[in-house]
Structure 1
Amino acid sequence: MRDILPADKARRERVLSVIRARYRAHGFDEIETPVVEDYDRLHAGIGGDNEKLSYNILRRGLDADAIRAAADDPAALSDLGLRYDLTVPLARFYASNRGQLPTVFRSIQIGPVWRAERPQKGRYRQFVQCDIDIMGDDSSRAEAELMVASLDAVDALGLEGATVRINDRRVLDWMLDSFGFTAEERPGVLITIDKLDKIGPEGVAAELRERSASTAAADAFDAFLRRPQTMEYTPFGERQIRKALPDGAPTELVEHLVGIGEAVAAGRGQSDIPLVFDPFLVRGMGYYTGTIFELAHPSVGYSLGGGGRYDGMIGRFLGQQVPAVGFSLGFERLVDLIADEADATAQAVVLIHDADVAVHELVRHKAALIAGGARVRLERRTKNVKALLERSAADGYTAFATVSAGAGELELKPLS
């Protein structure tokens, strides 16, 4: 968990304002949910490994004897917890407020989440998530809207050229079934496949055999990974998808993915489809039921966001099934890639004043500049004025003026 200094906070808010503006332009509405949710909801088996990383809140009123008696039972010790993502709270929100929402609801949710991670570069215990979700639409239009809006937001941040890696959990299930993996084996097999980028085909094949997966299935998967492939470029479409899968892929699933690509291209106003089919894209959350995707950019080797369809989650809270799909931008990663630019819409001025300048004079000068649209900071003159100016420039100020007692019109000078 970190303190955010003023210059960093200003940059974060600029990035958020761009994202919010683009998402609102695409018809999404912002909501807010509490940072605390019921323990049972956060540990309902739908959050994957994140459930193990959640921060739990001790029940009120427990004495020492009660704590000792429940020491081995987290559910007895805690009844609340800090949210580890924004999707579980959104499902609860929708179930609680459905009567006041449109049939197809497009939400924006931006806020901090908490996970008991092992701190390291780029991985924090408190971080901001930036989500858009569509509930009530089971068509591929929902996926296309999410991708177009997210690509638009990334473009607006100056990161043109982003693409979306896409797969479908149903395609994964079909592929594993075609290799001979049983339904019971699939969760563990998916965990291993998700490591393909890190440990390579040989590592995946070896780990599948160590997991006691059936030898024939592991061999079939290994042979598929080692199959001869041409290096020709194949744009997103039916040929690319079928080429990346074993023979006999279900036509309806292939057509579903092709349709999403065509819709995204139309929404982007371009002939090239900014999607890449990845048959080994897994995404670890256990609640995904259909399409899954990740945002990629050529400047970095890691994803900048992702999401998928989770049609089964809301029904757990509502008692009836509601289709839902979401896309989460990796806000912390995006912020690190955005250039630190001064706000060009308003002048930022530092007024350096002598100690004998009357307060009413300082306030009058400051008010006049603010009325003209400037941002203004008052600073008493120090012995080292150069250091004061350098600090002000680092804080985003663009001009300064000196104020003496009885001064008339101020002369603004650039801070550069």
Structure 2
Amino acid sequence: MASPVTPPRGMRDLLPADKAHREHVLGLIRGVYRAHGFDEIETPVMEDSSRLHAGLGGDNEKLAYAVMKRALTVDDLQAAERPLDLADLGLRFDLTVPLARFYASNRAKLPGVFRSIQIAPVWRAERPQKGRYRQFVQCDIDIIGEPGVLAEIELITATSEALEALGLRGCSIRLNDRRLLTSWLDAHDVPESLHPRALIILDKLDKIGVSGVAAELASMGLVHVNSMLAFMELSQGDGDDSWAMLESEAWSSSQAAADLRAIRAAVGPRARLVFDPFLVRGMGYYTGPIFEVAHPELGYSLGGGGRYDGMIGRFLGAEVPATGFSLGFERLIDLVPPAPSTGEGDAALLHEKGVDPARLMALKSLLIEQGVRVRLAAKPKNLRGALDQLAADGFGRFAIVGSDAPAHPDALDWRPLERSA
């Protein structure tokens, strides 16, 4: 029996209708971002392995696909102490690390404040499940070179308008700042060496609840878990109530709190902002404000991002401020209904046997000159099924072309295409 001919696990083929839907949604997103002054770039699908495993990508580095070196010998295989010793390249697991490398490579050709769009596939060795794939598209906008919160304000506003253009109502954007989290841990005498582990635990708050987080923090031997627990319980508010948390004694006078207030004031009614003091986001490179898109009917975020001022400096040797917002396209696409067909004028020419190919191509060329999308198809015995398929593919009319067909398409007997019930 023949083996099934399917894509690799976690990857998909896209049928024409699916591809058209995705391009429609991507077009809406691109249109909003370009209106906000962002320019689209493209980076290679592979980067140096050392760059992808430089400690900037958090747990995603463990999911990166490695590309083996060319012409490896038996001695190379035996000398390797770990699998990565056999790789010099890897598939990108996100678009932020490639962007940082891109900016470092092309800084002299870019404006002082650079606003970029990257919409492209990335790869992670995930365990495939509904809504999670090994190859998926990310939609990123980033601002490099702007040190103040104007960058975050632009990103949040543009992203909110993109969601609105997609017809996604009721979304909110959760905000926090990594500096607030660090100061909160310091205030509870969490040693700096334990900060990364504590943040990983706090990031589980929406999955295991306050009591579960408190138990894991206690297992670290921390001495102020009870006061941490009380504060976490207070943090479970929403909307305007959540912003009162920002006035706590530990945070109210901090620059991070001032930045979040400024973002909220400037964004105003353009987006619903919720302060979430225990929003962490997993990437280790975040240095300031962080944010996620929440939808009232979903238990997962639709996108997120934050400020990563230290990343580009690793490539340039000089600090460059940067912040970005990424939409999870594969999660968005299922929420956006397909656009109604606009192919009323698109035409199909169903040709009978024996029709002169030169005559067919002449008719097709004349239609294309008129701006019409044209498909040639042999007239089948089952005409109804063929017409249904053409209608499903977005064609709005058809004509049957016989050996006595006229020389001009306007003289053909055109009939509308309608899908049967």
TM-score of the aligned structures, taking structure 2 as reference length: 0.90
Q: How far apart in 2 are the matches of 1:228 and 1:366?
A: 65
Structure-1 residue corresponding to 2:249:
247
Q: How far apart in 1 are the matches of 2:278 and 2:234?
A: 15
The alpha-carbon distance between structure 1 residues 16 and 123, as it changes in their structure 2 partners (threshold 3 A), is same
2:415 is aligned with 1:415? no
Structure-2 residue corresponding to 1:114:
123
CA contact (8 A) 2:137 2:330 kept: yes
Deviation at 1:194, TM superposition (A): 1.0
The alpha-carbon distance between structure 1 residues 83 and 246, as it changes in their structure 2 partners (threshold 3 A), is same
Equivalent AA in structure 2 for residue 359 of structure 1:
P
CA contact (8 A) 2:242 2:276 kept: no
Residue 133 of structure 1: which of 136, 142, 157 is its match?
Answer: 142
Structure-1 residue corresponding to 2:19:
9
Q: How far apart in 1 are the matches of 2:289 and 2:363?
A: 58
Q: How far apart in 2 are the matches of 1:327 and 1:353?
A: 51
Q: 1:228-239 residue pairs with structure 2 within 5 A?
A: 235=240
Name the Cα RMSD after superposition.
Answer: 2.0
For residues 116-146 of structure 1, what are the alpha-carbon distances to aligned partners after superposition, in whole Å with 9 as ceiling and x for unaligned?
1111111111111111100000100000001
Structure-2 residue corresponding to 1:307:
305
CA contact (8 A) 2:183 2:250 kept: no
2:184 is aligned with 1:175? yes
The alpha-carbon distance between structure 1 residues 342 and 190, as it changes in their structure 2 partners (threshold 3 A), is same
Q: How far apart in 1 are the matches of 2:180 and 2:353?
A: 73
The alpha-carbon distance between structure 1 residues 242 and 314, as it changes in their structure 2 partners (threshold 3 A), is same
Equivalent AA in structure 2 for residue 404 of structure 1:
G
Structure-1 residue corresponding to 2:227:
220
Structure-1 residue corresponding to 2:266:
263
Structure-2 residue corresponding to 1:294:
292
Q: 1:336-351 residue pairs with structure 2 within 5 A?
A: 336-344=334-342, 347-351=345-349
Equivalent AA in structure 2 for residue 219 of structure 1:
N
2:274 is aligned with 1:276? yes
Listed as ranges, the gaps of 5+ residues in structure 2 are 1-10
For residues 65-123 of structure 1, what are the alpha-carbon distances to aligned partners after superposition, in whole Å with 9 as ceiling and x for unaligned?
211221x3234211111111110011011111111111101111111111111111111
Equivalent AA in structure 2 for residue 257 of structure 1:
L
The alpha-carbon distance between structure 1 residues 127 and 234, as it changes in their structure 2 partners (threshold 3 A), is closer
Q: How far apart in 2 are the matches of 1:24 and 1:100?
A: 19
Structure-1 residue corresponding to 2:354:
356
Equivalent AA in structure 2 for residue 336 of structure 1:
D
Q: How far apart in 1 are the matches of 2:204 and 2:248?
A: 20
Deviation at 1:228, TM superposition (A): 9.8
The alpha-carbon distance between structure 1 residues 338 and 387, as it changes in their structure 2 partners (threshold 3 A), is same
Deviation at 1:256, TM superposition (A): 0.9
Which range moves more in the overlay, 11-20 or 404-413? 404-413
SS in 1 for 2:391: helix
CA contact (8 A) 1:167 1:279 kept: yes
Listed as ranges, the gaps of 5+ residues in structure 1 are none
Aligned residues: 403
Equivalent AA in structure 1 for residue 243 of structure 2:
I
Equivalent AA in structure 1 for residue 183 of structure 2:
W
Equivalent AA in structure 2 for residue 333 of structure 1:
R
Deviation at 1:234, TM superposition (A): 5.2
SS in 2 for 1:350: strand
The alpha-carbon distance between structure 1 residues 334 and 361, as it changes in their structure 2 partners (threshold 3 A), is same
Q: How far apart in 2 are the matches of 1:213 and 1:402?
A: 80
Q: 1:16-415 residue pairs with structure 2 within 5 A?
A: 16-70=26-80, 72-210=81-219, 212-214=220-222, 216-227=223-234, 235=240, 240-243=242-245, 246-251=248-253, 252-265=255-268, 270=269, 274-344=272-342, 347-408=345-406, 409-410=411-412, 411-415=414-418
SS in 2 for 1:153: helix
Equivalent AA in structure 1 for residue 201 of structure 2:
T
Q: How far apart in 1 are the matches of 2:32 and 2:141?
A: 11
For residues 231-275 of structure 1, what are the alpha-carbon distances to aligned partners after superposition, in whole Å with 9 as ceiling and x for unaligned?
7x753xxx742336743314232221011112212xxxx4x7521
Deviation at 1:345, TM superposition (A): 6.9
Q: How far apart in 1 are the matches of 2:213 and 2:250?
A: 24
Q: How far apart in 2 are the matches of 1:296 and 1:371?
A: 47
TM-score of the aligned structures, taking structure 1 as reference length: 0.91
Deviation at 1:55, TM superposition (A): 0.8
CA contact (8 A) 2:47 2:91 kept: yes
